């Protein structure tokens, strides 16, 4: 059956259309992204602005049209940190439903971590042993670990690349790297013990656009090489790139391979989060998995059919 998964994240609204069947992997059929950057439309009182809600309705409408045009039998639609933390979240979701006919499910940080872990486990299989999974989003970092398909630990820490950039960047968009690194590690330090108790890990895996972009600029294969090419990212490479990224303006970062214009401003923040997470987990490198949250939701849905 043809299914869609609509991901309303802090940075993008992304519809992935796949051909799915029980016992087989979801095969991508179409994809549509809109760099909405919802987190930038949050007002001082924590609500999503009228302009942000207008843009969300427009984006969801276009995704619904694509889903219908491509023959989707079902669309799994969800929102993550930016919208679920908005003080007017319920009102915005009600408006989206009324104007587009699309219901958006609020996905908790823990659910994000669990679904991402499921996708990673299915990608690597049982031979991967005990897994630890790191997933950097725009608003949060998800951490999960375990030996089974369901992780023993599934946590969400509010140190996403976009959030860190907005919180600590000065008026010119620059970051005080030592200050940011210290703040991130203090937050990770509150939960990392729960993750480490699931170890030792036979494989540590990273997902998300931030990790893929860092891998690409550090020399991993481009997406055009296909999903089955092994890709890794070394912590030393991230540490080497952090001072380089700090010297660049966003326009220069956007010229790097695998870095979009919309994500270029927050790439340095994402690199600091990535380096900190890898070091606190105690790993020198991570494997980069092409499957993440969207695939995990699709697999979970197929399991329940």
Q: What percent of the chain has pLDDT over 90?
A: 92
pLDDT at 107 over 90: yes
pLDDT, position 202: 97
Residues 40 and 186 occupy one common structural domain:
no
Per-residue pLDDT tens digits for 142-167: 999 999 999 999 999 999 999 999 99
Contacts of residue 104, Cβ cutoff 8 Å, sequence gap at least 6: 6, 8, 60, 77, 78, 79, 83, 93, 96, 97
Total domains present in the chain: 2
pLDDT at 271 over 90: yes
pLDDT, position 289: 98
pLDDT, position 65: 95
Residues 97 and 169 occupy one common structural domain:
no
- Split at pLDDT 50, 70, 90, the class of 95 is very high
Residues 275 and 155 occupy one common structural domain:
yes
| Contact assessment for residue 179 and residue 231, using Cβ atoms and an 8 Å cutoff | no
- Split at pLDDT 50, 70, 90, the class of 17 is very high
Residues 81 and 155 occupy one common structural domain:
no
Question: Which residue, of 83, 107, 131, is where some domain finishes?
Answer: 107
- Read off the CATH number of the domain in which 95 is found: 3.30.420.40
- Read off the CATH number of the domain in which 156 is found: 3.30.420.150
Residues 85 and 223 occupy one common structural domain:
no
Report pTM: 0.95
Q: Would 15 be classed as within a structural domain?
A: yes
pLDDT at 196 over 90: yes
Q: Would 93 be classed as within a structural domain?
A: yes
Q: Would 302 be classed as within a structural domain?
A: no
Cα dihedral 228→229→230→233 (10° resolution): -120
- Split at pLDDT 50, 70, 90, the class of 82 is confident
pLDDT at 21 over 90: no
Question: Which residue, of 107, 135, 150, is where some domain finishes?
Answer: 107
Residues 164 and 24 occupy one common structural domain:
no
- Three-class DSSP labels, 95-116: HHHHHHCCCCEECCHHHHHHHH
Output the average pLDDT for the chain: 95
Residues 221 and 140 occupy one common structural domain:
yes
Across 22-35, average pLDDT:
90
Residues 277 and 192 occupy one common structural domain:
yes
Tokens read off for 73: 């039998």
d(CA 21, CA 41) in angstroms, rounded, equals 38
Q: How far is CA 281 from CA 100, 132, 206, 277, in A?
A: 43, 9, 12, 6
Across 80-105, average pLDDT:
94
Tokens read off for 54: 């207008």
- Split at pLDDT 50, 70, 90, the class of 30 is very high
Residue 182 CA to its chain's centroid (Å): 22
Question: Which residue, of 107, 132, 155, is where some domain finishes?
Answer: 107
Q: Would 33 be classed as within a structural domain?
A: yes
pLDDT at 114 over 90: yes
pLDDT, position 37: 87
- The conformation of residue 5, written as its DSSP 8-state character, comes to E
Residues 187 and 212 occupy one common structural domain:
yes
Per-residue pLDDT tens digits for 210-269: 999 999 999 999 999 999 999 999 999 999 999 999 999 999 999 999 999 989 999 999
Residues 287 and 193 occupy one common structural domain:
yes
Residues 268 and 243 occupy one common structural domain:
yes
DSSP, collapsed to helix, strand or coil, labels residue 206 as strand
Residues 272 and 184 occupy one common structural domain:
yes
Across 174-185, average pLDDT:
98
Domain encompassing residue 160: 123-292
d(CA 261, CA 268) in angstroms, rounded, equals 13
């Amino acid at each position: 059956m043809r299914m869609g998964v609509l991901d309303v994240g802090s940075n993008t609204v992304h519809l992935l259309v796949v051909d799915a069947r029980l016992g087989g992997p979801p095969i991508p059929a179409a994809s549509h992204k809109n760099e909405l950057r919802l987190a930038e439309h949050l007002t001082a009182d924590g609500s999503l602005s009228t302009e942000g809600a207008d843009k969300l309705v427009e984006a969801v409408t276009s995704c619904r049209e694509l889903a219908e045009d491509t023959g989707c039998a079902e669309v799994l639609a969800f929102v993550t940190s930016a919208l679920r933390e908005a003080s007017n979240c319920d009102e915005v979701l009600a408006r989206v439903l009324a104007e587009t006919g699309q219901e958006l499910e609020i996905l908790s940080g823990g659910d994000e971590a669990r679904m991402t872990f499921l996708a990673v486990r299915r990608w690597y299989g049982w031979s991967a042993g005990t897994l630890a999974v790191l997933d950097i989003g725009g608003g949060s970092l998800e951490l999960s670990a375990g030996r089974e398909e369901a992780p023993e630990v599934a946590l969400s820490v509010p140190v996403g690349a976009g959030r860190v950039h907005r919180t600590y960047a000065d008026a010119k968009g620059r970051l005080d790297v030592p200050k940011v690194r210290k703040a991130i590690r203090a937050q990770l330090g509150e939960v990392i013990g729960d993750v480490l108790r699931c170890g030792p890990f036979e494989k540590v895996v990273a997902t998300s656009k931030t990790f893929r972009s860092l891998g690409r600029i550090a020399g991993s294969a481009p997406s055009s090489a296909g999903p089955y090419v092994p890709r890794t990212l070394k912590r030393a490479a991230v540490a080497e790139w952090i001072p380089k990224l700090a010297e660049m303006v966003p326009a220069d970062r956007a010229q790097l391979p695998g870095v979009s214009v919309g994500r270029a401003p927050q790439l340095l923040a994402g690199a600091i989060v990535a380096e900190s997470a890898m070091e606190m987990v105690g790993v020198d490198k991570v494997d980069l998995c092409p499957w993440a949250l969207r695939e995990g939701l699709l697999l979970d849905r197929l399991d329940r059919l």
